[in-house]
Amino acid sequence: MAADAGSVLRTLGTFDLAAMRGLLRMFGRAFDDMATYTQSPPDDAYLAGLLARDTFIAVAAFDGDTVVGGLAAYVLPKFEQARSEVYLYDLAVAETHRRRGIATALIAELRRVAATRGAWVVFVQADYGDDPAVALYTRLGTREDVMHFDIEVE
């Protein structure tokens, strides 16, 4: 799937380890948090196992061989009905490739993949002050104002 004239999207699979590592580096740069995304990277076996799961989705946008955008999402099987929800965990586009429709195309691809995995909705959180993300998600979905709590695991 094409995002713009220079970008191609691909849902990553088990053997896309180099692309997944490129996605991690791109997230680190885009979020200005290289330590989180590259300091203690998982080994190849872990990444291959993650990419093989039907409960994890990674989509990358490429300009040639370079990852210039992407997302990571989790499929959450529900208990009250035989269906799933997809949580869009991270989405970013390299600064050099923003405002070209890549984020919208990434979400469209996620929606397509989510449907094939039995999901009825994709949901995402945005931080107050992240106006570009809020504008994008408002354009694509219905806004719900909720509180988010982190509960530490010992």
The 3-class SS string of 79-114 reads CCCCCEEEEEEEEEECHHHCCCCHHHHHHHHHHHHH
Band the pLDDT of 127: cuts 50, 70, 90: confident
Architecture of domain 2-140: 3-Layer(aba) Sandwich (3.40)
- Residue 135: pLDDT over 80: no
Whole-number pLDDT of residue 125: 80
Q: How far is CA 66 from each of CA 11, 80, 119, rounded to the nearest angstrom? A: 15, 41, 30
* Section 92-99 average pLDDT: 93
* Section 48-64 average pLDDT: 97
Please answer whether residues 25 and 69 qualify as being in contact, where contact means their C-beta atoms are separated by less than 8 angstroms. Answer: no
Q: What is the mean pLDDT of the chain?
A: 90
- Residue 25: pLDDT over 80: yes
**Which two three-digit tokens encode residue 7?**
């970008």
Lowest mean pLDDT, pick from 17-21, 49-53, 134-138: 134-138
Domain ranges of the chain: 2-140
Q: Which amino acid is at 54?
A: D
Between CA 1 and CA 32 the distance in angstroms is 28
